[in-house]
């Protein structure tokens, strides 16, 4: 696995990887062996930001730790949550039928595939609390809408590219809407505002 380390201020290192699979494997390996002084691990599509307390772990020590941790792309360890979060979904999204047609399957088959697999939050981006979900059992590349919607309701369950996601609150968006959920996923007043934090496992449950 390639790991290119770049300084990011006085208290963080940015680790560049060649793929999302490498990022996920490294994130899991570092989380599993996380020493005192590591403040936060922030994954993205091709990078992992490692934030430290320099008084407890100097950047030089952090760099050595990152380089020495064994990890291979595709390897996974259990996330912080032993059981996946279950999100109940009403599959009546505006793009459900069109997305099924794009994937050459029936609506029922699409619902069964989307809800029958386990997802994992790879990283958070786009909007506060918006988790990009991935699954080894989701082989599809779903094109985004040609023109984004100016308003996507909060709780909308959607797919785009190789990712799944749930809009935590109303926002613009170009993902294809499969359904909706009432599950609260973003609370700025909470100690951990984003429910769908990196590493969390998720399963969707149809309400119909």
Cβ neighbours of 30 (radius 10 Å)? 21
Taking 70 as the threshold, does the pLDDT of residue 77 lie above it? no
HEC profile of 121-185: EEEECCCCCCEEEECCCCCCCECCCCCCEEEECCCEEEEEECEEEECCCCEEECCEEEEECCCCC
Give the chain's end-to-end CA distance (angstroms, integer).
43
Instruction: Please name each of the domains of the chain with its CATH number.
Output: 4-68 (3.30.1360.40), 85-206 (2.40.100.10)
Task: For 5-52, write each residue's pLDDT tens digit.
Answer: 999 989 999 999 998 888 988 998 898 889 999 999 999 889 999 999
Q: What is the pLDDT of residue 78?
A: 43
Q: Report the C-alpha gap between 73 and 37 in whole angstroms.
A: 26
Torsion, Cα 125 101 97 106, to 10 degrees, reads -110
Which has the minimum average pLDDT: 40-49, 85-94, 108-117? 40-49
Q: What is the predicted pLDDT for the residue at 21?
A: 87
What is the average per-residue pLDDT within 146-175?
95
pLDDT at position 82 is 56
119-152 pLDDT per residue, tens: 999 998 888 889 999 999 999 999 999 999 999 9
161 phi/psi in degrees, rounded to 5: 60, -130
Give the pLDDT mean for 174-178: 97
Model confidence at 105: pLDDT above 70:
yes
The proportion of the chain whose per-residue pLDDT surpasses 90, expressed as a percent, equals 66
- State yes or no: pLDDT of 86 exceeds 60: yes
Least confident window among 37-46, 68-77, 158-167: 68-77
pLDDT value at 81 more than 60: no
């Amino acid at each position: 696995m390639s790991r290119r380390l770049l300084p990011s201020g006085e208290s963080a290192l940015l680790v560049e990887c060649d793929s999302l699979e490498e990022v996920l494997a490294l994130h899991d390996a570092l989380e599993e062996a996380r020493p005192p002084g590591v403040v936060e691990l922030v994954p993205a599509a091709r990078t992992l930001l490692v934030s430290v307390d320099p008084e407890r772990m100097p950047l030089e020590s952090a760099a050595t730790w990152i380089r020495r941790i064994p990890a291979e792309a595709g390897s996974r360890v259990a996330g912080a949550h032993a059981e996946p979060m279950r999100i109940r979904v009403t599959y009546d999204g505006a793009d459900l039928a069109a997305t099924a047609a794009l994937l050459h399957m029936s609506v029922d088959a699409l619902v069964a595939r989307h809800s029958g697999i386990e997802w994992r939050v790879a990283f958070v981006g786009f909007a506060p609390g918006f988790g990009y979900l991935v699954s080894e059992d989701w082989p599809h590349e779903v094109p985004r809408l040609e023109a984004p919607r100016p308003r996507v309701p909060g709780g909308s369950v959607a797919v785009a590219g190789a990712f799944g996601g749930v809009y935590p609150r109303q926002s613009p968006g170009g993902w294809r809407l499969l359904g909706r959920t009432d599950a609260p996923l973003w609370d700025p007043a909470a100690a951990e505002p984003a429910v769908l934090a990196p590493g969390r496992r998720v399963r969707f449950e149809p309400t119909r």
